[in-house]
Amino acid sequence: MRDLRKKILLESGKTVSRKARSRPDSLGASPNSSPTPSRGASRLNSRYASEEEDLTDSEYEDSLTNSVANSDDGNEPVASWTERLGDRIAELLDRKRSSAKGRETCLSAYTHIIRHHYAEEQLGPQLNELIPALLKSIRSGSNIDETLSAVKALTMSILSTESENFYDHVYPSLKALCQDSAEESLKVQAIETMGIVTMCGGGSLVAAEELLEFLVEIVESDGNTIEAGDNGRVVAAALTAWGFVASNFDDLQGQSDHALEVFTEQLDSTDVDVQVAAGTNIALIFEAAREYEDETEEAWNLQYDQHKLVQRMTALVRESSKSVSKKDRKHLHASFNSVLTSLEHGKGPGYSTARRMASNPHTGGTKTDFSEEYREYGYREKIRIHNISMVIDTWSLSARVETLRSVLGAGLAIHYMDNPVVKDLLSSAQVEFVSAPKKGGRGDERLSPPRRNRNGKASKGSGF
């Protein structure tokens, strides 16, 4: 733990309030294993932050500090995160007296802890027992919440360790869940996790190619191949996962022509998220073609109607239908402006061709001193992690960042700094060091670690 305030709290035996204890990673023993009702168990149903409301580490530490100061119940010491994690693992491995609700609560707490702390050292010795326990909840969970929580826990476990033995044990269960479940949220989560386990859990090149084909089939059929016909969330998830997996390929020629045709058709979707995801994947394919031609000096002849494609994207930039909400129109316009700029100028995402003076005449000197030279604003999408600033200048990097943000949420900065799997995914991003945020500031709240360019490998054992 790098933060001195948290270390003092954890090692001094100070206490937290009941409100802080209601957070998922602060839960005491499972209510299912408690012989008599306890104060901790009586609050297991208290509301805690959802993943969308997930607090950053700095906010969580501040809540601990405030809890100590305001505690009305000064008799319960704060357990370290490693102790809490050990308790959750023990509960997950002992299912004899557990209930579906108890397992779901435990899984959520387990996931929350390893999302906000790099726990490879704690998880490694337990993996041979943990993975089967998680798979049991995935295959035969008593309800949707338990199954969904188990898939999320599995995803975080994969990203938190460098094991090369996940894929063969895990992938078949995830694919079966994706195909057989009638629940939209389970299909979406299974698709995301399939991408993670393939690229970060020991999948081979062949396995990645097969997954890309499977995802294209889902998109081409509008979700019908997995019994999710016309389901925008499922199709968008398949498009996003395709981008994440494809971003790890040095050569996409074998997967590009049919995929490009399918993605172009999805530009006419009535779902904005599907349109945007299809557009970014199209940009990723053209970026791969440019990089291949630059590196090999060989032509990569994409089979597509350039005029029709640009015409359709231009129409999306000007979309003004009242059937699309103002928020979605803004998202659509910004996304396809970025894609069009990429196709026309050979740039990555978020590039601005707007021009500004290369020097500022207001800082002194005469106008002639600056020769009226102008330069483009360039890449505007940046990520800040502590005192590291990264520019998202490729579509492959953007695809990995989006997936890591989805999985890690506010734990992204911690994992970028400490987790070699995440750092490897983002290793070829251009970085620069900037001044650290002021003490007490909120400098890391919106930060997420960038991924690297297409030339880097996904993780150890990925086969790329």
Model confidence pLDDT, tens digit, residues 408-428: 999 999 999 999 999 999 987
Question: What pLDDT, on the 0 to 100 scale, is given for residue 13?
Answer: 42
Which segments in the chain show pLDDT lower than 50?
A: 1-22, 26-53, 56-72, 364-371, 440-464
Specify the pLDDT at position 464: 39
What local confidence, expressed as pLDDT, does residue 444 receive? 46
pLDDT of residue 32: 45
Q: Which residues contact 326 (CB under 8 A, 6 or more apart)?
A: none
* Distance between CA atoms of residues 242 and 396, nearest Å: 11
* φ/ψ of residue 187, rounded to 5: -65, -45
HSE-up of 462 (CA within 13 Å, CB side)?
23
Cα–Cα distances in Å, from 287 out to 87, 256, 266, 345, 421?
47, 11, 19, 11, 24
Torsion angle (degrees, nearest 10) of CA 241, 247, 248, 253: 110
Question: Which pLDDT belongs to residue 70?
Answer: 46
**Residue in this structure with the two tokens 């791969």, named with its chain if needed:** 288
What pLDDT digit, counting tens, does each position of 357-402 carry?
555 555 544 444 444 565 666 667 788 888 888 889 899 999 999 9
Residue 348: predicted pLDDT: 85
Give the pair of three-digit tokens for residue 451: 């991924």
In sequence order, the β-bridge partners of residue 374 are 357
Question: Residues with Cβ < 8 Å from 314, sequence gap 6 or more?
Answer: 340
Token pair 């900037």 is found at 434
Residue at token pair 């490998």: 457
**φ, ψ of residue 380 in degrees (nearest 5):** -110, -15
pLDDT recorded at residue 76: 58
Q: What is the pLDDT of residue 60?
A: 44
